[in-house]
Structure 1
Amino acid sequence: MKRYVSFLFSALSLLSFGVMQIYAQEKKPNIIFIFSDDHAYQAIGAYGNRLVKTPNIDRIAKEGGLFENFLVTNSICGPSRANLLTGKYSHKNGYLANEGKFDMDQTLFSRLMKQGDYQTAWIGKWHLGSLPGDAFDDWKILPGQGYYYNPDFIDAKNDTARYEGYVTDLITEFATDWMDKRDKDKPFFLVVGEKATHREWLPAIEDLGVYDDVEFPLPETFYDSYEGRKAAADQDMTIEKSMRISDDLKVHAKFGLSDEQAAAKRKRITQRRYGNKVLNDREKQVVERLVYQGMYERLNKEQAAKVQAYYDEIAKDFDAKKLTGNALTEWKYQRYLKDYLATAHSLDRNIGKLLAYLDQHGLAENTIVIYGSDQGFYLGEHGWFDKRFIYQESLKTPFVIRYPKVIKPGTKFKQHVLNIDWAPTLLEIAGVSVSSDIQGTSFLGLLKANGKNVVTREASYYHYYEFPQPHHVSPHFGITTERYKLVRFYKGQEAWELYDLKKDPKELDNLYGQKKYEKTIQGLKNTLKDLIIQYDDQDAAKILNQAD
């Protein structure tokens, strides 16, 4: 009898061990998606920039894969987040431009992730007008654009509170806190929504001046004449004319408020909003948020003293130089990059904290780590900052991914992939059926093949809408292939553009209308029309059908 019991115990132990092994093999991976704002691929070491320091983003690429042609479908902040959530083009998810109110009632992939037993959260910048609601199990988001210093956050109970500190540090703190408190029996999907590197590019105190010893070379196209490109000429996003000396570059900017200034502003706001009534606690909180609503007014006395001292030295140097013309424009370019990249420095450092958290808690081997931006950005190319255009610097977004035991370290993916493809890919990883209204295509097969012998799409469709403010970029749609780019501008400027990306990667020579490209243009127009029909972009179809 004892032998039988012993045998039975051994058999059950072996069976249990086998079941545990199978479970371990089938255990779903956790997913962290670090989603930054306006971070240019050309500002990252892994993408070839040897003057910047991004060791932690580079680490993700080195230990996983890097996408060389990850493209957006509408190069602007809020719509890019809507593309992520829905897997649909802007004309289908209804969020065409910033500062609208995103429809939360449509199918969102984060809700579908729950069907795969994933616990979900979004921490940080959201920027969609609506609150996340039940789209995530938990959330803690910045209202609107948020502030770099001492920002407000809204939590899943719809409570708003102000937190002392630098926004990137706080987002990391809240993200790791959530991972500490989550249900450990479930896989998790976490979006870490970063404010960095959005305008006005205000670095953390410890990063002030980190690039001050670097003289950045001017991009080849810095003094672009925009010849033959009417839409490129008719915009309001040049470093020369549109970048503000005080508001953007902090020359003679004032940081923080004195007690007297805060009291006077508090009195004005209270009188204007509430008259002479006695305020309740909620109303007092509203007034305090309005007192410190300016980006630079948010700093407390200690923060303001350090930041003010740094930028006062910048202002003193600027005043002494008495710059004009190209010298002034180039000075603005240098200050822009130094602040932009110093802001990115804190972003990268905090990505390092997240990676360290995974290592320290034994999560690294079963956690997919993604780093991407909502779109690309201009760092002086064509004389610009900002994004919006279909041209390469804003069309291409950085995207690196570490997927242990699936992606071989150091893999580079050359295929075209779109940001509407994020949702179906994450759903397939989670083992959840992809909703029929999702327009993107999963690239999980591409990841598993490590980029070899997999064709994604031969042409990528794009449509930008916001006009005329804030940067007066003419709305346009178009396609990009491996060799060519065809663009149709409408409203503001009415024009076609064609570029041979092999011969003209800087997109300076508009070939549209040249006789020798007639067959190429017609072929590309046919492809453009097919994609417009495929994605059911009816407004673009009407414009395309109009006589040129």
Structure 2
Amino acid sequence: MTTIQYHLKTFLWVTINLVSLHPIMAQTRKRPNIIFIFSDDHAFQAISAYNGPLAKLAPTPNIDRIGSEGMRFDKCYVTNSLCTPSRASVLTGTHSHINGVKILSDGLNNSKITFPMIMKCLGYQTALVGKWHLKSKPQGFNYWEVLNNQGEYYNPDFITSSSTARVAGYATDIITDKALNWLQNGRDKAEPFLLMIHHKAPHRSFEKGPDHLRTFEGVIFPEPPTLFDDYVGRGTSAKTQEMMIGKDLRLGKDFKIAPKEDESSVNGRMTEQQRQAWNQVYDSVSTDFQSKNLSGKDLLKWKYQRYMKDYLATVCSVDDNVGRVLDYLDKNGLAENTLVVYSSDQGFYLGEHGWFDKRFMYEESFRTPLLMRWPETIKKGAINTDLVSNLDFAQTFIELAGGKSPEVMQGLSLVPVMKSQTPNDWRTSLYYHYYDFHGHKVQRHEGVANKNYKLIHFYDINEWELYDLRKDPQELTNQYDNPAYPAIVKAMKAELQKLKKQYEVESVQTSDSSDLAIDR
């Protein structure tokens, strides 16, 4: 779809439908409040509700509560596993080629229609606090206060429509403080609300909060079976990426060890009190590292453990603050008619294949966590295995608000799924497209996945990969050239073309220097 076509569809939707979405017409039933908690780079493997190998060692009881009192989605996926494009897809309900946000450095054009704009027109009180990272100013909110760019963990700057100010404290706590203050003091309590609580954490460089500086310091985490992956059976991109724990995470900023040549590891935003508490932990870590003089596999093992300790302790602060939000809803009689959604902008590698970060269409980054609680509608302890997408959030929220989604949106409303009434014609495959080669040298690719197979095309180098997810869930063996799979290859290529036509995907382009965007 061209930009002109996009704006034409948006214009037609606004002029024909928006008048009919006046709040008075949406009051035929009691509409739910919606709290959308969105974290950054939170792997589903790091949520104990998913019962993975880390569940007992690093529990997330408050996030788990959303699932145990509602629904856990086991097959929620993203359209483009990268922070900025994912956020644009969530807001607009469209793929990257439609909303124009393909790579990290792209910004969201304010002319693009988003679900908060529609919900505000429907009479919802709308608020956004935390990470935005889309360059343009947020639109469609009664109140917004967002981090500057990626944001900082300690004493971050917050931007409003009229000012920028540094706020003392730890970002995850501050974001929740501001969200709860708006719930208590900032909204019109006669109207339903949409509150988007968007955390920076646990984004790199995984800076633990003051309450969790020593959490997990004595814990040894299990190593994933593929930590020492040699990439035999995979293509060029898996072998040439730059997202390896062993060589691409930095001693300074990532492992918090401060050699003289890396003064960037010192966090200049900290107060003296914060710095003293920080140094009490990381001076010991640095001493331990220097004393061991590690190399080879032993060095990777050490780095993996440090990575996990910091990443999972950062998650602990997110979980604590999810608990604060749930407690507020209970205390103020809001829990019963409030949909609470927890998700992340994409998945993340926690040592699988020796990696950190995301980007690939392989499972750990393609799949994202999703848990929902709405006591009036969602059955407790429900588990859903339908293929759902971050495309679906926008249309779900709009339907719950009593509105009609614009034609340009490409997802599906999850309302029937939440009621355990998945339509018979629900999607059976998903389209994916990653555009941002220069970030970590992950080759640009598109692909299609269903519950049994995944086909990926690294189009700049013209390499194809096919994975049999039933026999090979860790995606270790490319079956594309296996003579036992030609019928599957043909069927998956046909499905890929079908989805590209359905989503109006333009022909892929070769790499060029305009894609320079680094998520460090």
**TM-score of the pair, normalised by structure 1:** 0.85
Query: Structure 1 residues 336 and 541, CA, compared in 2 at 3 Å: closer, same or farther?
Result: closer
Cα distance in 2 for partners of 1:463, 1:158 equals 36
> Which of the residues 373, 388, 401 maps onto 1:402?
373
Say what the alpha-carbon RMSD is for the aligned residues: 1.9
% identical aligned pairs: 47
Per-residue deviation, 1:410: 0.4
Per-residue deviation, 1:26: 2.4
> Which of the residues 296, 311, 318 maps onto 2:282?
311
Describe how 1:25-64 pairs up with structure 2 within 5 A: 26-48=29-51, 49-64=55-70
Is 1:221 matched with 2:229? no
> Which of the residues 199, 204, 211 maps onto 1:206?
211
Cα distance in 2 for partners of 1:508, 1:219 equals 13
Segments ≥4 residues shifted beyond 3 Å = 451-455, 540-543
> Which of the residues 188, 201, 209 maps onto 2:193?
188
Check whether the contact 2:212–2:317 (CA below 8 A) recurs between aligned residues.
yes
Say which SS state the counterpart of residue 67 (structure 2) adopts.
helix
Corresponding residue for 1:7?
A: none
Check whether the contact 1:65–1:410 (CA below 8 A) recurs between aligned residues.
yes
Is 1:478 matched with 2:447? yes
Cα distance in 2 for partners of 1:228, 1:195 equals 35
Corresponding residue for 2:183?
A: 179
Say which SS state the counterpart of residue 364 (structure 1) adopts.
coil
Residue 500 of structure 1 aligns to which amino acid in structure 2?
Answer: D
Cα distance in 2 for partners of 1:314, 1:325 equals 19
Is 1:516 matched with 2:484? yes
Residue 409 of structure 1 aligns to which amino acid in structure 2?
Answer: K
Corresponding residue for 1:526?
A: 494
Listed one character per residue, the Cα deviations across residues 208-248 of structure 1 (whole Å, up to 9, x for unaligned) are: 12112221111111111111322111100001110111110
Listed one character per residue, the Cα deviations across residues 126-167 of structure 1 (whole Å, up to 9, x for unaligned) are: 0111111x3211100001100000000001x33000010000
Check whether the contact 1:119–1:183 (CA below 8 A) recurs between aligned residues.
yes
Corresponding residue for 2:20?
A: none
Cα distance in 1 for partners of 2:366, 2:395 equals 21
Corresponding residue for 2:435?
A: 465
Residue 444 of structure 1 aligns to which amino acid in structure 2?
Answer: V
> Which of the residues 272, 284, 298 maps onto 1:301?
272
Residue 78 of structure 1 aligns to which amino acid in structure 2?
Answer: T
Say which SS state the counterpart of residue 219 (structure 2) adopts.
coil
Say which SS state the counterpart of residue 356 (structure 1) adopts.
helix
Cα distance in 2 for partners of 1:541, 1:455 equals 33
Corresponding residue for 1:69?
A: 75
Cα distance in 2 for partners of 1:324, 1:225 equals 17
**After the TM superposition, which of the residue ranges 42-51 and 168-177 deviates more from structure 2?**
42-51
Cα distance in 2 for partners of 1:307, 1:490 equals 45
Say which SS state the counterpart of residue 484 (structure 2) adopts.
helix
Residue 169 of structure 2 aligns to which amino acid in structure 1?
Answer: G
Per-residue deviation, 1:511: 0.2
Describe how 1:266-305 pairs up with structure 2 within 5 A: 296-305=267-276
Cα distance in 2 for partners of 1:485, 1:360 equals 46
Cα distance in 1 for partners of 2:397, 2:32 equals 11
Listed one character per residue, the Cα deviations across residues 401-426 of structure 1 (whole Å, up to 9, x for unaligned) are: 00112110000000000101110111
Per-residue deviation, 1:109: 1.3
Cα distance in 1 for partners of 2:466, 2:497 equals 16
Cα distance in 2 for partners of 1:541, 1:240 equals 32
Query: Structure 1 residues 294 and 246, CA, compared in 2 at 3 Å: closer, same or farther?
Result: closer
**After the TM superposition, which of the residue ranges 209-218 and 381-390 deviates more from structure 2?**
209-218
Query: Structure 1 residues 141 and 398, CA, compared in 2 at 3 Å: closer, same or farther?
Result: same
Check whether the contact 1:532–1:540 (CA below 8 A) recurs between aligned residues.
no
Cα distance in 1 for partners of 2:191, 2:126 equals 10
Per-residue deviation, 1:490: 2.0
**TM-score of the pair, normalised by structure 2:** 0.89
Corresponding residue for 1:17?
A: none
More helix by share: 1
Per-residue deviation, 1:24: 10
Say which SS state the counterpart of residue 88 (structure 1) adopts.
coil
Residue 476 of structure 1 aligns to which amino acid in structure 2?
Answer: H
Listed one character per residue, the Cα deviations across residues 171-192 of structure 1 (whole Å, up to 9, x for unaligned) are: 0000011111200011000100
Per-residue deviation, 1:513: 1.3
Describe how 1:137-152 pairs up with structure 2 within 5 A: 137-152=142-157
Residue 207 of structure 1 aligns to which amino acid in structure 2?
Answer: H
Query: Structure 1 residues 488 and 501, CA, compared in 2 at 3 Å: closer, same or farther?
Result: same
Cα distance in 2 for partners of 1:424, 1:386 equals 28
Check whether the contact 1:115–1:432 (CA below 8 A) recurs between aligned residues.
no
Corresponding residue for 2:256?
A: 250
Residue 488 of structure 1 aligns to which amino acid in structure 2?
Answer: H
- Structure 1 unmatched ranges of 5 or more: 1-22, 258-292, 544-548
Describe how 1:153-164 pairs up with structure 2 within 5 A: 153-155=158-160, 157-164=161-168
Query: Structure 1 residues 25 and 439, CA, compared in 2 at 3 Å: closer, same or farther?
Result: closer
> Which of the residues 504, 509, 512 maps onto 1:536?
504
Check whether the contact 1:97–1:466 (CA below 8 A) recurs between aligned residues.
yes
Cα distance in 1 for partners of 2:224, 2:339 equals 35
Tell me the matched-pair count. Answer: 479
Query: Structure 1 residues 455 and 211, CA, compared in 2 at 3 Å: closer, same or farther?
Result: farther
Listed one character per residue, the Cα deviations across residues 413-468 of structure 1 (whole Å, up to 9, x for unaligned) are: 000001011101110111101101111111211111x2667552111000000012
Cα distance in 1 for partners of 2:316, 2:387 equals 28
Corresponding residue for 2:123?
A: 117
Residue 193 of structure 1 aligns to which amino acid in structure 2?
Answer: H
> Which of the residues 416, 426, 429 maps onto 1:456?
426
Check whether the contact 2:257–2:265 (CA below 8 A) recurs between aligned residues.
no
Cα distance in 1 for partners of 2:397, 2:180 equals 21
> Which of the residues 486, 503, 508 maps onto 2:471?
503
Say which SS state the counterpart of residue 530 (structure 1) adopts.
helix
Cα distance in 2 for partners of 1:128, 1:454 equals 36
Cα distance in 1 for partners of 2:168, 2:423 equals 50
Structure label with greater radius of gyration: 1
